[in-house]
């Protein structure tokens, strides 16, 4: 399983691997928002947490169809399915590799982009914490969506439609943590909800992903 993780990370780093895809999309969205909103730093401060969370979520969504589709196309998925690695392990490792190559860079880039949106000083800590807690759920839910659409050619649209509603709770509570943190309120409740959603998806969804993948490989 470690070999699979290392291979996925190595593939993401190599040419055409899509490592910078999510990150550059995040950068573009967040840089363009101040141009669209205009030079109103007070307004930017208010919308910064929401925009940063939305940007991170869409950047994550952009790279989802790569998680399993590439392995399906070149036949690796069939071979992995008949290897000693259990299917649940394969999808968990795939989600982890996706988080390490997409989610984690977004978490690291968020503070820099927060500066562009005039995020209040107290907000940085909670923005990073909320993204760090929330993005793993985005990767795990995304892997489930990728498993559902793996056999379909050009399944990107269907994947987005399937996954977006599942992303809503994470977005609501994640953005709420960042907003409350930025405004100096107590964040305990949304933070616990966010952590709960992430733990729940990590615990349950790999089994669902593995089950639908088995059906899709038939």
- CB of 109: closest distance to another protein in angstroms? 24
- CB of 17: closest distance to another protein in angstroms? 7
Q: Is 211 in the site for another protein (CB under 8 A)?
A: no
Q: Which is closer to another protein, CB of 96 or CB of 194?
A: 96
CB crowding 38-57: b at 16 or more within 10 Å, else e:
eeeeeebbbbbbbbbbbbbb
- CB of 131: closest distance to another protein in angstroms? 29
Largest Cα span, the chain: 57
Residues of this chain, 77-136, that bind another protein according to CB under 8 A: 78-85
Report CA-CA distances (Å) from 143 to 4, 111, 128, 155.
15, 26, 23, 13
Using CB under 8 A, pick the residue from 16, 86, 184, 200 that binds another protein: 16
Q: Which is closer to another protein, CB of 73 or CB of 199?
A: 73
> Does residue 117 contact residue 51 with C-beta atoms inside 8 Å?
yes
> Does residue 80 contact residue 8 with C-beta atoms inside 8 Å?
no
Contact residues for another protein (CB under 8 A)? 2-4, 7, 10-11, 14-17, 73-76, 78-85, 217-218
């Amino acid at each position: 399983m470690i070999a699979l993780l290392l291979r996925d990370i190595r593939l993401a780093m190599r040419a055409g691997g899509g490592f910078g895809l999510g990150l550059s999309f995040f950068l573009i969205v967040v840089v363009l928002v101040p141009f669209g909103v205009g030079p109103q730093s007070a307004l930017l401060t208010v919308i910064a947490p929401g925009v940063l969370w939305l940007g991170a979520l869409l950047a994550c969504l952009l790279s989802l169809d790569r998680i399993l589709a590439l392995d399906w196309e070149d036949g690796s998925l069939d071979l992995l399915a008949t290897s000693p690695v259990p299917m649940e392990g394969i999808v968990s490792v795939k989600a982890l590799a996706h988080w390490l190559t997409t989610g984690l860079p977004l978490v690291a880039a968020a503070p820099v982009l927060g500066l562009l949106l005039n995020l209040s000083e107290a907000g940085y800590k909670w923005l990073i914490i909320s993204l760090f807690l929330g993005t793993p759920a985005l990767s795990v839910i995304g892997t489930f969506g990728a498993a559902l659409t793996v056999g379909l050619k050009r399944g990107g649209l269907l994947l987005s439609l399937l996954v977006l509603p599942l992303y809503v709770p994470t977005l609501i509570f994640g953005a709420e943590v960042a907003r409350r943190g930025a405004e100096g309120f107590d964040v305990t409740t949304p933070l616990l909800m966010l952590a709960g959603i992430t733990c729940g998806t990590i615990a349950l969804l790999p089994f669902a992903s593995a089950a639908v993948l088995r059906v899709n490989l038939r």
